[in-house]
Amino acid sequence: MFENHLPTAELQALDAAHHMHPFTDGDGLAKKGARIITKAKGVWVTDSEGAEILDGMAGLWCVNVGYGREELVEAAARQMRQLPFYNTFFQTSHIPAIQLAKRLAELAPGDLNHVFFNGSGSDSNDTNIRMVRRYWQALEKPEKNVIISRWNGYHGSTMGAASLGGMKGMHAQGGLPIPGVVHIDQPDWWSEGGDLTPEAFGLARARQLEEKILEIGAENVAAFIGEPVQGAGGVIVPPATYWPEIQRICRQYDILLIADEVITGFGRTGNWFGCQTFGITPDIMTVAKGLTSGYIPMGASIVSDRVAAVINGSDEFAHGYTYSGHPVAAAVALENLRLLDEDGIVARVAAETAPYLKAKWEGLAAHPLVGEAKIVGMMGSIALTPNKETRAKFASKSGTVGYICRERCFANNLVMRHVGDRMIISPPLVITPAEIDILIARALKSLDETLVRINAEGLN
């Protein structure tokens, strides 16, 4: 246990001197000082000044069972005593990896019965790139290797995963995307839907996939990858018409469908997996985050019978990580899945918490700053706008108002993230109705304060 024996300012100075943060303007943070989190329980995190903050983001969308579950601590300790590490490379296996693969095959829909273990969401998507290319190569169609994904999608931060992602800012910092990855537009009706109805827009955006396949030639396209609900892109819930049409197109042109369920997996959308919520059957599913509720790093690619038969039936698949199937991570994942199931956490989301949160969240649309309020299961977003009718953007640079709102939330002890001028939430699945009331009250207060500030500064 790290006791907080140093004053906050000293910890901040050390952090600034030695710790390089992900996705952070280092010097900017050094001037301001990081907020230092010392402990957590349930949906509450505590900082070094003793403030208790409602974590509306479940860490980074991952702490599905909430903080402080002793069962997971015990599972890790037991496994560390028994077998802290062994690899799964050279014709060896171990019990936690075997049991977890079996459990994931049971939980995953359709014929997703095979599991390749990875260390995170990013390297799981790198595995997927290599696996789908290997799949078509083994079928003697090596030219079928292009992967289509979406602008403003997020699939991770490695060279491969960031290429799949459609974050232009990431591509700009280092020669991405890698060859053989192309992007189509996202199904974000609020920002890009123009005069179309959401349904017509969903179809139009899905049909961009067909257009892109025809442009490249189906004989050159290996796979399409998408998040059932874009998370880091701003919790963009696609129109209902979108995913069935994507599935139809993938089947028609014999393109593998990869559902990146790193956020949407393990109860987040009210079902075990987002593809169940949206009625699609992928060939590969990427999972991470909620697999272990973030207590320990782990990711996986869950693979269909069809794909696994080809990969297993060919020569060695020359791919893997030291920590593929790490026994301690697998033991924690198994226990986490048991809690999600036997503690009724996923069932309670569907029956109780998600409907309660939905009613409250959609109520935020009555606030003068809020245009659409979208939510599926336990992930939601609100679009901030100066004009709800025209869905206008603020005159200030995108993200200026969102950042102010995020800072007001933080000041009001609520973690809510901003993506441009959208505010997003993804709380631990164990949040109670009473805690949802607190979340909504703090969000409203923060929105009010944001409105005062942008009026005063003429930012609208």
Q: CB 310 → ligand PMP: shortest distance, Å?
A: 24
Question: Residue for token digits 């992967």?
Answer: 147
Helix (H) or strand (E) holding 286: strand 284-287
**CA distances, 325 to each of 79, 84, 208, 298, 341 (Å):** 13, 12, 37, 8, 21
Sign (positive/negative) of CA torsion 336, 339, 341, 346? negative
Which residue's CB is nearer to ligand PMP, number 97 or number 419? 419
Considering the rule CB under 6 A, would residue 262 count as an interface residue with ligand PMP?
Answer: yes
Q: Which is nearer to ligand PMP, 170 or 357 (CB)?
A: 170
Give the torsion through C-alpha atoms of 202, 205, 206, 209, to 10 deg.
Answer: 180
User: Binding residue for ligand PMP (CB under 6 A) from 88, 120, 149, 241?
Assistant: 120
Q: How far is the CB of 206 from ligand PMP (least distance, A)?
A: 19
Q: Which is nearer to ligand PMP, 126 or 421 (CB)?
A: 126
Phi and psi at 165, nearest 5°, equal -60, 160
Q: Which residue is nearest to ligand PMP (CB)?
A: 121
Buried-state track 397-436, b at ≥16 Cβ within 10 A, e below 16: eeebbbebbbebbeebebbbbbbbbbbbbbbbbbbeeebb
Contacts of residue 369, Cβ cutoff 8 Å, sequence gap at least 6:
384, 385, 401, 447, 450, 451, 454
Q: Which of residues 275-304 bind ligand PMP (CB under 6 A)?
A: 288
Least spacing, CB of residue 218 vs ligand PMP, in Å: 26
**Of 83-91, 196-204, 227-235, 309-317: span binding ligand PMP (CB under 6 A):** 227-235
Does position 126 bind ligand PMP by CB under 6 A?
no
Pick 155 or 205: Cβ nearer ligand PMP: 155
- Contacts (CB under 6 A) with ligand PMP, residues 401-420: none
- Within residues 150-189, the interface with ligand PMP by CB under 6 A covers 154-156
* DSSP conformation class of 127: H
CA angle 279, 191, 236 (to 5 degrees): 30
Interface segment toward ligand PMP; rule CB under 6 A; list 7-15, 116-124, 308-316, 421-429? 116-124
Q: Is 263 in the site for ligand PMP (CB under 6 A)?
A: yes
CB nearer ligand PMP, residue 187 or residue 231: 231
Shortest approach of ligand PMP to residue 435 CB, angstroms? 23
Residue in 55, 188, 260, 372 binding ligand PMP, rule: CB under 6 A? 260
Contact range with ligand PMP by CB under 6 A, out of 118-126, 204-212, 365-373, 383-391:
118-126
- Tell me the window of 75-83, 196-204, 255-263, 320-328 that interacts with ligand PMP (CB under 6 A): 255-263
Long-range pairs of 194-199 with CB within 8 A, sequence gap ≥ 24: 198/239, 198/241, 199/239, 199/240, 199/241
Q: How many residues does the chain have?
A: 460
Using H for helix, E for strand and C for coil, what is the string for 88-121?
CCCCCCCHHHHHHHHHHHHHCCCCEEEEEEECCH
Give min distance, CB of 155 to ligand PMP, in A: 5
Q: Which two tokens stand for residue 258?
A: 């990869």
Contacts of 351 (CB under 8 A, 6+ apart): none
In angstroms, rounded to a whole number, what is the distance separating the alpha carbons of residues 260 and 228?
7
| Choices 64-72, 168-176, 259-267, 368-376; region in contact with ligand PMP by CB under 6 A | 259-267
Nearer to ligand PMP, 30 or 60 (CB): 60
Q: Can you say whether residue 2 is alpha, beta or left, with left for phi > 0 and alpha for psi between -120 and 50 degrees? A: beta
Nearer to ligand PMP by Cβ, of 121 and 270: the residue is 121
Site string for ligand PMP, 44-73 (x = CB under 6 A): ----------------x-------------
Round to whole Å and give the CA distance between 142 and 5: 58
Shortest reach from residue 242's CB to ligand PMP, in Å = 16
Give yes or no for residue 265 binding ligand PMP (CB under 6 A): no
Rank residues 115 and 232 by Cβ distance to ligand PMP and give the closer one. Answer: 232
Region label for 316, one of left (φ > 0), alpha (ψ between -120 and 50) or beta (otherwise): beta
> In the bound complex, what is the minimum distance in angstroms from residue 196's beta carbon to ligand PMP?
26
Query: Cβ distance 293 to 64 under 8 Å?
Result: yes
Of 288 and 443, the one with the shorter C-beta distance to ligand PMP is 288
CB 421 within 8 A of CB 394: yes
Residues that bind ligand PMP (CB under 6 A): 60, 120-122, 125, 154-156, 227, 231-232, 260, 262-263, 288
